[in-house]
């Protein structure tokens, strides 16, 4: 890290003094040094940093506590109270499976360990949250396609187990610990299928200390411009979730590292398995982080614009199979989540259609609080500070087939939003609260 830090200082000094004017000799010197340094070779300096990152990364989870669940069952708007953040420190280790024969790519899985940080959190893991029963909504969605007899059996399962649309669970149960779902167990047995691992649900159940999907990236050895770009995911060089080749393309890095020599015209490509798609960031403005010049990149509104506004997004609609195309600011994940009625957005529907903001009481999208960004030192591609932010919503639709669903509003129901932040020296409690 010392070498890169010295480069940052020198590059910053260069910018202030205009040393690039010395016949390009200094420019060429640093360019060559970076090309040789910024590559993933077994045992190399950058490889060691990439394999065992020691930079603090924090995951902040905020829930939308439902204060009027009984009224929502009668068709009222939900009144939401944002609670948290519940803060977890992450430790990431990239476990290499193999290098290609010519060392141009490396295949790996990431092991992430989460540690709850009560000193940074606004609450404890024992806090009770009233929220929507996600497994119930998934079973209802699947139940709509069943025969009349099968629907009857499913309703009996719900009644026997006291299954309701809203539940009260603590933070630990909702996130990593999970909670047993007897209705899922019975339905899985009848269908001879596995709906949930161990018939247990938690948004991050089974994720702590587990290995991620298998990813292959370019090392930068053969082509420095491809450094850290994703070549394949789970052995596939393109996705199969969407309607055409454009939406199924795998482009970009995992957003933890970027190629060096960025400019203000650079479009940063990112591949996100969580979103089941590739996306991008664009330059917004120059900033300084701990005295070092950086470019701030943000996710533009066009990434989640409706197909009516941005025709490039038409292939994320998947026809009418999962319902009509949604408005700006959201992405339906049903095609890559087994048909589950889960919809992703930015927090508080930031940069989204006002119709989604107004479906609930208590949402207030704010750019500085809810926009994803990365502040990057342009010559090395190192992220100096950044935040990945997203919100999980459930697509709620009334149906007379199941008791609790008969009069609910037709809406996108916010459940929680998550922020993963690389803070550098800014990891003070004041940031989290």
- Per-domain boundaries in the chain: 38-432
Q: What pLDDT is recorded for position 247?
A: 92
- Give the Cα separation of 305 and 382 in Å (integer): 29
Residue 375: which of 414, 339, 426 has the closest Cα?
A: 426
Mean pLDDT of 84-96: 94
Q: Which of 77-91, 106-120, 253-267, 316-330 has the lowest mean pLDDT?
A: 316-330
Model confidence at 26, in pLDDT bands (50, 70, 90)?
A: very low
Residue 113: which of 95, 126, 129 has the closest Cα?
A: 95
Q: Give residue-wise pLDDT tens across range 337-351.
A: 888 899 999 999 999
What's the distance, CA 232 to chain centroid? 18
8 A C-beta contact, residue 305 and residue 346: no
Report the percent of the chain where pLDDT is more than 70. 88
Output the six-digit token pair for 138: 């998934």
- Give the Cα separation of 49 and 55 in Å (integer): 9
- Give the Cα separation of 346 and 390 in Å (integer): 5
Mean pLDDT of 271-286: 95
Mean pLDDT of 59-84: 97
Q: What pLDDT is recorded for position 35?
A: 65
Output the six-digit token pair for 252: 């970009």
Q: What pLDDT is recorded for position 348?
A: 98
pLDDT for residue 147 is more than 50: yes
pLDDT for residue 293 is more than 80: yes
Q: What pLDDT is recorded for position 189?
A: 82
Q: Which of 8-22, 123-137, 204-218, 232-246 has the lowest mean pLDDT?
A: 8-22
- Give the Cα separation of 406 and 74 in Å (integer): 8
Mean pLDDT of 183-211: 88
Q: Which of 63-77, 177-191, 249-263, 315-329 has the lowest mean pLDDT?
A: 315-329
Mean pLDDT of 263-278: 94
Mean pLDDT of 160-167: 94
Cis peptide bond N-terminal to 212, omega within 30: no
Model confidence at 190, in pLDDT bands (50, 70, 90)?
A: confident
Higher pLDDT, 70 or 259: 70
Model confidence at 357, in pLDDT bands (50, 70, 90)?
A: very high
Coil, helix or strand at residue 335: helix
pLDDT for residue 25 is more than 70: no
Query: For 18-146, where are the alpha helices, taking DSSP H only?
Result: 25-37, 45-51, 69-72, 134-143
Report the percent of the chain where pLDDT is more than 90. 67
Q: What pLDDT is recorded for position 317?
A: 86
Output the six-digit token pair for 317: 């609609």
pLDDT for residue 32 is more than 70: no
Mean pLDDT of 408-421: 96
Model confidence at 207, in pLDDT bands (50, 70, 90)?
A: very high
What sign has the CA pseudo-torsion 296, 297, 302, 305?
negative
pLDDT for residue 73 is more than 70: yes
pLDDT for residue 53 is more than 80: no
Q: Which residues pair with 92 in a beta bridge?
A: 112
Instruction: Please state, rounded to an integer, the average pLDDT across all residues of the chain.
Output: 87
* Buried b or exposed e, range 116-140, using 16+ CB within 10 angstroms: bbeebbbbebebebbbbbbbbbbbb
pLDDT for residue 235 is more than 50: yes
Mean pLDDT of 370-387: 92
Q: What pLDDT is recorded for position 425?
A: 42
pLDDT for residue 20 is more than 80: no
Q: Which of 45-54, 221-230, 408-417 has the lowest mean pLDDT?
A: 45-54
- Give the Cα separation of 162 and 337 in Å (integer): 26
Model confidence at 10, in pLDDT bands (50, 70, 90)?
A: very low
8 A C-beta contact, residue 259 and residue 382: no
pTM for this predicted structure:
0.89
Mean pLDDT of 123-134: 97
Mean pLDDT of 251-280: 92
8 A C-beta contact, residue 323 and residue 332: yes
Mean pLDDT of 332-341: 89
- Give the Cα separation of 316 and 52 in Å (integer): 35
């Amino acid at each position: 890290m010392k070498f890169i830090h010295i480069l940052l200082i020198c590059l910053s000094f260069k910018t202030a003094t205009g040393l690039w004017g010395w016949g390009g000799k200094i420019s060429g010197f640093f360019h060559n040094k970076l090309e040789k340094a910024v590559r993933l070779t077994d045992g190399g300096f950058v490889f060691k940093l990439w394999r065992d990152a020691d930079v603090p990364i924090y995951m902040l989870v905020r829930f939308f506590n439902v204060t009027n669940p009984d009224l929502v069952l009668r068709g009222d708007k939900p009144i939401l109270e944002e609670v948290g953040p519940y803060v977890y420190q992450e430790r990431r280790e990239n476990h290499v499976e193999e290098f290609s024969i010519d060392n141009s790519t490396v295949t790996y899985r990431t092991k992430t360990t989460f540690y709850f940080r009560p000193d940074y959190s606004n609450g404890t893991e024992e806090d009770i949250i009233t929220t929507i029963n996600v497994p119930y909504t998934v079973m209802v969605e699947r139940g709509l396609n069943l025969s009349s007899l099968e629907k009857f059996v499913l309703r009996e399962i719900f009644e026997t187990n006291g299954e309701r649309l809203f539940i009260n669970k603590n933070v630990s149960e909702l996130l990593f610990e999970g909670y047993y779902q007897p209705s899922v167990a019975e339905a899985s047995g009848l269908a001879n299928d596995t709906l949930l691992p161990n018939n247990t649900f938690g948004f991050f159940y089974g994720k702590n200390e587990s290995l991620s999907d298998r990813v292959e990236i370019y090392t930068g050895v053969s082509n420095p411009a491809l450094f850290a770009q994703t070549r394949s995911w789970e052995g596939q060089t393109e996705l199969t979730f969407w309607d055409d080749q454009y939406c199924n393309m795998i482009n970009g890095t995992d957003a933890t590292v970027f190629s060096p020599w960025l400019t203000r015209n650079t479009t940063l490509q990112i591949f996100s398995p969580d979103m089941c798609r590739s996306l991008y960031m664009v330059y917004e403005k120059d900033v300084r982080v701990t005295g070092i010049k950086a470019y701030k990149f943000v996710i533009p509104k066009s990434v989640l614009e409706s197909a009516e506004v941005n025709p490039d997004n038409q292939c994320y609609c998947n026809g009418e199979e999962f319902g009509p195309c949604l408005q700006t600011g959201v992405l339906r994940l049903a095609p890559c989540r087994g048909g589950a009625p889960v919809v992703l957005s930015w927090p508080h529907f930031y940069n989204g259609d006002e119709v989604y903001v107004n479906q609930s009481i208590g949402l207030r999208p704010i750019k500085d609080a809810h926009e994803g960004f990365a502040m990057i030192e342009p010559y090395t591609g190192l992220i100096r500070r950044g935040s990945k932010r997203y919100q999980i919503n459930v697509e709620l639709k009334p149906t007379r087939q199941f008791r609790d669903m008969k009069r609910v509003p037709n809406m996108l129901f916010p459940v929680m939003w998550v922020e993963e932040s690389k803070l550098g020296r800014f990891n003070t409690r004041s940031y989290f609260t």
